[in-house]
Amino acid sequence: MKIPSRLSIANMPTPIQKLSHISQLLHKNVYIKRDDYTGNEWSGNKIRKLEYALNEAIQQGATTVITCGGLQSNHARATTAVANHLGLKTHLVLRGAKQEHPQGNLLLNEIMGAQISYLEPEIFNRDYLNYMEQLKTDYAQKGIQAYIIPIGASNGIGNFGYYNCFQEIKAQEEDLSIQFDTIVTTVGSGGTYGGLFLGNLLENYPKKIVGFNISSTPDYFKSEITEIVKASLAIMNCEATFNTEDIQIIGGYEGIGYALTQPFELEFIKKIASLEGLILDPVYTGKAFRGLYNEIEKGTFDNSQNILFIHTGGLSGLHSFSAQFNF
Protein backbone atom coordinates (compact mmCIF):
# COMPACT_ATOMS: atom_id res chain seq x y z
CA MET A 1 0.00 0.00 0.00
CA LYS A 2 1.16 3.51 -0.80
CA ILE A 3 0.75 5.85 2.18
CA PRO A 4 1.25 9.54 1.33
CA SER A 5 3.98 11.47 3.09
CA ARG A 6 3.09 14.07 5.72
CA LEU A 7 4.50 16.96 7.66
CA SER A 8 5.33 16.45 11.33
CA ILE A 9 3.65 19.27 13.22
CA ALA A 10 1.24 17.95 15.84
CA ASN A 11 2.18 16.85 19.34
CA MET A 12 1.70 13.12 18.96
CA PRO A 13 0.88 10.61 20.21
CA THR A 14 -1.92 12.28 22.12
CA PRO A 15 -2.69 10.68 25.48
CA ILE A 16 -5.56 8.34 26.28
CA GLN A 17 -7.22 8.86 29.66
CA LYS A 18 -9.92 6.93 31.48
CA LEU A 19 -12.98 8.90 32.55
CA SER A 20 -13.29 7.18 35.90
CA HIS A 21 -16.36 8.94 37.31
CA ILE A 22 -18.33 8.62 34.08
CA SER A 23 -17.27 4.99 33.76
CA GLN A 24 -18.67 4.31 37.23
CA LEU A 25 -21.94 6.08 36.46
CA LEU A 26 -22.46 4.29 33.15
CA HIS A 27 -21.00 0.90 34.12
CA LYS A 28 -18.74 1.02 31.08
CA ASN A 29 -15.03 1.64 30.63
CA VAL A 30 -15.10 5.02 28.92
CA TYR A 31 -11.80 6.49 27.75
CA ILE A 32 -10.97 9.67 25.88
CA LYS A 33 -8.19 10.33 23.38
CA ARG A 34 -7.02 13.89 23.90
CA ASP A 35 -6.64 15.19 20.39
CA ASP A 36 -7.32 18.60 21.91
CA TYR A 37 -3.68 18.27 22.99
CA THR A 38 -2.22 18.27 19.46
CA GLY A 39 -0.99 21.83 19.91
CA ASN A 40 -2.10 25.29 20.95
CA GLU A 41 -3.04 27.61 18.08
CA TRP A 42 -3.25 24.55 15.84
CA SER A 43 -4.92 22.24 18.36
CA GLY A 44 -7.65 19.70 17.67
CA ASN A 45 -8.31 17.00 15.14
CA LYS A 46 -7.80 19.18 12.05
CA ILE A 47 -4.04 19.27 12.47
CA ARG A 48 -3.73 15.54 11.74
CA LYS A 49 -5.46 16.08 8.38
CA LEU A 50 -3.50 19.23 7.63
CA GLU A 51 -0.20 17.36 8.02
CA TYR A 52 -1.14 15.53 4.82
CA ALA A 53 -3.07 18.25 2.98
CA LEU A 54 -0.49 21.00 3.48
CA ASN A 55 2.33 18.63 2.62
CA GLU A 56 0.59 18.05 -0.71
CA ALA A 57 0.11 21.80 -1.12
CA ILE A 58 3.84 22.41 -0.69
CA GLN A 59 4.70 19.55 -3.05
CA GLN A 60 2.50 21.20 -5.68
CA GLY A 61 4.28 24.52 -5.24
CA ALA A 62 1.43 26.40 -3.58
CA THR A 63 2.17 29.55 -1.64
CA THR A 64 -1.44 30.33 -0.67
CA VAL A 65 -4.03 28.05 0.90
CA ILE A 66 -7.75 28.58 0.40
CA THR A 67 -10.22 26.92 2.75
CA CYS A 68 -13.64 27.48 4.27
CA GLY A 69 -15.92 26.96 7.24
CA GLY A 70 -18.17 28.66 9.78
CA LEU A 71 -17.20 31.78 11.67
CA GLN A 72 -15.93 29.66 14.57
CA SER A 73 -14.39 26.95 12.38
CA ASN A 74 -11.63 25.09 14.21
CA HIS A 75 -10.36 23.96 10.82
CA ALA A 76 -10.04 27.52 9.52
CA ARG A 77 -8.12 28.60 12.62
CA ALA A 78 -5.83 25.56 12.52
CA THR A 79 -5.17 26.05 8.80
CA THR A 80 -4.22 29.69 9.35
CA ALA A 81 -1.87 28.85 12.22
CA VAL A 82 -0.11 25.98 10.47
CA ALA A 83 0.12 27.85 7.17
CA ASN A 84 1.76 30.79 8.95
CA HIS A 85 4.18 28.37 10.59
CA LEU A 86 5.07 26.98 7.16
CA GLY A 87 5.40 30.38 5.50
CA LEU A 88 2.19 30.10 3.48
CA LYS A 89 -0.61 32.66 3.13
CA THR A 90 -4.20 31.77 3.96
CA HIS A 91 -7.46 32.92 2.41
CA LEU A 92 -10.54 31.89 4.39
CA VAL A 93 -14.09 31.78 3.06
CA LEU A 94 -16.35 31.97 6.11
CA ARG A 95 -20.08 31.49 6.52
CA GLY A 96 -21.53 34.63 8.09
CA ALA A 97 -20.95 38.36 8.44
CA LYS A 98 -17.83 40.19 9.57
CA GLN A 99 -17.96 40.78 13.33
CA GLU A 100 -17.29 44.17 14.90
CA HIS A 101 -15.83 42.47 17.97
CA PRO A 102 -14.67 38.99 16.91
CA GLN A 103 -14.26 36.28 19.52
CA GLY A 104 -12.87 32.76 19.73
CA ASN A 105 -11.48 31.25 16.55
CA LEU A 106 -12.49 34.25 14.46
CA LEU A 107 -10.46 36.54 16.71
CA LEU A 108 -7.45 34.22 16.35
CA ASN A 109 -7.78 34.25 12.55
CA GLU A 110 -7.81 38.05 12.60
CA ILE A 111 -4.78 38.20 14.90
CA MET A 112 -2.88 35.76 12.67
CA GLY A 113 -3.56 37.88 9.59
CA ALA A 114 -5.67 35.58 7.48
CA GLN A 115 -7.31 37.07 4.41
CA ILE A 116 -11.03 36.52 5.03
CA SER A 117 -14.01 36.61 2.67
CA TYR A 118 -17.37 36.60 4.44
CA LEU A 119 -20.38 35.09 2.68
CA GLU A 120 -23.95 35.31 3.86
CA PRO A 121 -25.18 31.84 4.92
CA GLU A 122 -27.50 31.28 1.95
CA ILE A 123 -24.76 32.30 -0.50
CA PHE A 124 -22.13 30.21 1.31
CA ASN A 125 -24.35 27.11 1.33
CA ARG A 126 -25.00 27.44 -2.37
CA ASP A 127 -21.73 28.72 -3.79
CA TYR A 128 -18.75 28.24 -1.46
CA LEU A 129 -17.09 25.64 -3.70
CA ASN A 130 -17.41 27.84 -6.80
CA TYR A 131 -16.24 30.83 -4.78
CA MET A 132 -13.05 29.04 -3.73
CA GLU A 133 -12.39 27.90 -7.30
CA GLN A 134 -12.80 31.48 -8.51
CA LEU A 135 -10.37 32.67 -5.84
CA LYS A 136 -7.85 30.08 -7.05
CA THR A 137 -8.28 31.37 -10.63
CA ASP A 138 -7.89 34.97 -9.46
CA TYR A 139 -4.66 34.09 -7.64
CA ALA A 140 -3.35 32.24 -10.70
CA GLN A 141 -3.90 35.37 -12.82
CA LYS A 142 -1.62 37.18 -10.35
CA GLY A 143 1.03 34.47 -10.70
CA ILE A 144 0.21 32.91 -7.32
CA GLN A 145 -0.25 29.15 -6.96
CA ALA A 146 -3.15 28.43 -4.59
CA TYR A 147 -4.25 25.13 -3.08
CA ILE A 148 -7.85 24.46 -2.01
CA ILE A 149 -8.61 22.50 1.15
CA PRO A 150 -12.28 21.48 1.57
CA ILE A 151 -14.29 21.92 4.76
CA GLY A 152 -12.52 20.17 7.62
CA ALA A 153 -9.78 18.92 5.25
CA SER A 154 -12.17 16.00 4.76
CA ASN A 155 -11.13 14.49 1.46
CA GLY A 156 -9.00 11.63 0.22
CA ILE A 157 -5.66 13.11 1.29
CA GLY A 158 -6.84 14.63 4.58
CA ASN A 159 -8.42 11.31 5.51
CA PHE A 160 -4.97 9.85 6.17
CA GLY A 161 -4.72 11.96 9.31
CA TYR A 162 -7.08 9.63 11.14
CA TYR A 163 -5.85 6.55 9.34
CA ASN A 164 -2.57 7.43 11.03
CA CYS A 165 -4.43 8.06 14.31
CA PHE A 166 -5.88 4.56 14.12
CA GLN A 167 -2.33 3.16 13.93
CA GLU A 168 -1.43 5.32 16.92
CA ILE A 169 -4.37 3.92 18.90
CA LYS A 170 -3.24 0.36 18.11
CA ALA A 171 0.19 1.06 19.57
CA GLN A 172 -1.36 2.66 22.66
CA GLU A 173 -3.57 -0.36 23.20
CA GLU A 174 -0.44 -2.46 23.55
CA ASP A 175 1.11 0.03 25.97
CA LEU A 176 -2.08 0.22 28.05
CA SER A 177 -2.84 -3.52 27.83
CA ILE A 178 -6.37 -2.81 26.66
CA GLN A 179 -8.41 -3.39 23.52
CA PHE A 180 -11.01 -0.81 22.57
CA ASP A 181 -13.96 -2.58 21.02
CA THR A 182 -15.63 0.74 20.11
CA ILE A 183 -14.24 4.08 18.92
CA VAL A 184 -16.61 7.05 18.93
CA THR A 185 -16.20 10.42 17.23
CA THR A 186 -18.04 13.53 16.18
CA VAL A 187 -19.01 13.70 12.51
CA GLY A 188 -18.90 17.27 11.22
CA SER A 189 -17.42 16.84 7.74
CA GLY A 190 -16.56 13.13 7.64
CA GLY A 191 -12.77 13.02 7.57
CA THR A 192 -12.16 12.02 11.18
CA TYR A 193 -14.64 9.16 11.01
CA GLY A 194 -13.44 8.26 7.52
CA GLY A 195 -9.82 7.84 8.56
CA LEU A 196 -10.70 5.68 11.56
CA PHE A 197 -13.01 3.61 9.39
CA LEU A 198 -10.28 3.18 6.77
CA GLY A 199 -7.78 1.99 9.37
CA ASN A 200 -10.27 -0.47 10.83
CA LEU A 201 -11.19 -1.71 7.35
CA LEU A 202 -7.65 -2.33 6.12
CA GLU A 203 -6.49 -3.92 9.37
CA ASN A 204 -9.59 -6.14 9.27
CA TYR A 205 -10.24 -5.31 12.92
CA PRO A 206 -13.60 -6.07 14.55
CA LYS A 207 -13.82 -2.65 16.18
CA LYS A 208 -17.02 -0.65 15.92
CA ILE A 209 -16.42 2.86 14.61
CA VAL A 210 -19.41 4.97 15.66
CA GLY A 211 -20.10 8.58 14.77
CA PHE A 212 -22.55 11.19 15.99
CA ASN A 213 -23.43 13.76 13.35
CA ILE A 214 -23.60 17.35 14.55
CA SER A 215 -25.23 18.68 11.39
CA SER A 216 -27.18 17.35 8.41
CA THR A 217 -28.25 13.67 8.60
CA PRO A 218 -26.62 10.25 9.06
CA ASP A 219 -27.49 9.28 5.47
CA TYR A 220 -25.80 12.39 4.12
CA PHE A 221 -22.60 11.63 5.99
CA LYS A 222 -22.65 7.94 5.11
CA SER A 223 -22.58 8.99 1.46
CA GLU A 224 -19.86 11.61 2.03
CA ILE A 225 -17.67 9.23 4.04
CA THR A 226 -18.05 6.52 1.42
CA GLU A 227 -16.64 8.86 -1.22
CA ILE A 228 -13.83 10.06 1.07
CA VAL A 229 -12.74 6.49 1.86
CA LYS A 230 -12.86 5.52 -1.83
CA ALA A 231 -10.67 8.51 -2.67
CA SER A 232 -8.12 7.44 -0.03
CA LEU A 233 -8.09 3.89 -1.35
CA ALA A 234 -7.40 5.23 -4.85
CA ILE A 235 -4.45 7.27 -3.54
CA MET A 236 -3.13 4.11 -1.87
CA ASN A 237 -3.68 2.10 -5.04
CA CYS A 238 -5.50 -0.33 -2.80
CA GLU A 239 -8.71 -2.28 -3.14
CA ALA A 240 -11.01 -2.97 -0.19
CA THR A 241 -14.66 -3.89 -0.12
CA PHE A 242 -17.16 -2.21 2.16
CA ASN A 243 -20.77 -1.11 2.09
CA THR A 244 -22.17 2.28 2.97
CA GLU A 245 -24.26 0.55 5.63
CA ASP A 246 -21.02 -0.53 7.35
CA ILE A 247 -20.68 3.13 8.35
CA GLN A 248 -22.38 3.55 11.73
CA ILE A 249 -23.66 7.04 12.46
CA ILE A 250 -26.22 7.79 15.15
CA GLY A 251 -28.43 10.81 14.55
CA GLY A 252 -30.70 12.82 16.77
CA TYR A 253 -28.09 14.88 18.63
CA GLU A 254 -27.44 17.57 16.04
CA GLY A 255 -29.98 19.80 17.78
CA ILE A 256 -31.12 22.96 16.03
CA GLY A 257 -28.19 23.12 13.63
CA TYR A 258 -24.47 23.53 13.12
CA ALA A 259 -22.86 25.80 15.74
CA LEU A 260 -26.27 26.44 17.31
CA THR A 261 -26.84 25.30 20.85
CA GLN A 262 -29.65 24.92 23.39
CA PRO A 263 -29.63 25.38 27.18
CA PHE A 264 -29.81 21.66 27.97
CA GLU A 265 -26.77 21.02 25.75
CA LEU A 266 -24.77 23.63 27.64
CA GLU A 267 -25.94 22.14 30.95
CA PHE A 268 -24.56 18.78 29.80
CA ILE A 269 -21.17 20.39 29.08
CA LYS A 270 -21.17 21.84 32.61
CA LYS A 271 -22.11 18.42 34.03
CA ILE A 272 -19.17 16.68 32.35
CA ALA A 273 -16.82 19.49 33.40
CA SER A 274 -17.90 19.10 37.03
CA LEU A 275 -17.59 15.31 36.91
CA GLU A 276 -14.21 15.00 35.20
CA GLY A 277 -12.65 18.44 34.83
CA LEU A 278 -13.09 17.85 31.10
CA ILE A 279 -14.15 20.71 28.83
CA LEU A 280 -16.20 19.88 25.75
CA ASP A 281 -17.27 22.41 23.14
CA PRO A 282 -20.86 23.25 22.09
CA VAL A 283 -20.33 22.71 18.36
CA TYR A 284 -18.72 19.26 18.19
CA THR A 285 -17.71 17.25 21.23
CA GLY A 286 -20.49 18.48 23.50
CA LYS A 287 -23.17 17.16 21.18
CA ALA A 288 -21.35 13.94 20.30
CA PHE A 289 -20.43 13.06 23.88
CA ARG A 290 -23.98 13.79 25.00
CA GLY A 291 -25.07 11.35 22.31
CA LEU A 292 -22.68 8.70 23.56
CA TYR A 293 -23.73 9.22 27.19
CA ASN A 294 -27.45 9.00 26.40
CA GLU A 295 -27.10 6.03 24.07
CA ILE A 296 -25.11 4.09 26.69
CA GLU A 297 -27.95 4.74 29.14
CA LYS A 298 -30.48 3.58 26.53
CA GLY A 299 -28.60 0.29 25.94
CA THR A 300 -27.30 1.02 22.43
CA PHE A 301 -23.76 0.16 23.56
CA ASP A 302 -24.62 -2.91 25.64
CA ASN A 303 -22.25 -5.01 23.51
CA SER A 304 -19.39 -2.55 24.04
CA GLN A 305 -17.20 -2.65 27.12
CA ASN A 306 -14.12 -0.52 26.38
CA ILE A 307 -15.16 2.64 24.57
CA LEU A 308 -12.74 5.28 23.29
CA PHE A 309 -14.09 8.77 22.53
CA ILE A 310 -12.00 11.07 20.34
CA HIS A 311 -11.78 14.59 21.77
CA THR A 312 -11.48 16.66 18.60
CA GLY A 313 -10.77 19.97 20.32
CA GLY A 314 -12.68 23.23 19.95
CA LEU A 315 -11.84 24.98 23.21
CA SER A 316 -10.99 28.30 21.55
CA GLY A 317 -14.40 28.42 19.89
CA LEU A 318 -16.08 27.89 23.27
CA HIS A 319 -15.43 31.50 24.28
CA SER A 320 -17.91 32.78 21.69
CA PHE A 321 -20.68 30.99 23.61
CA SER A 322 -19.94 32.63 26.99
CA ALA A 323 -23.12 34.73 27.02
CA GLN A 324 -25.29 31.66 26.49
CA PHE A 325 -24.16 29.80 29.60
CA ASN A 326 -26.44 30.27 32.61
CA PHE A 327 -24.34 30.99 35.70
Residue numbers annotated as active site: 73
Quote the distance between the C-alpha of residue 22 and its chain's center: 23
Side-chain-facing half-sphere of 324: CA atoms under 13 Å = 17
**Coil, helix or strand for 182?**
strand
Question: Phi and psi of 184, rounded to 5°?
Answer: -120, 140
Q: How would DSSP label each residue in 271-309?
A: HHHHHHS----TTTHHHHHHHHHHHHHHTTTTT-SEEEE
- Residue 226 amino acid letter: T
Contact 145, 61 (CB under 8 A): yes
How many residues in total does the chain contain?
A: 327
Burial of 121 (0-12, 13-18, 19+ CB in 10 A): exposed
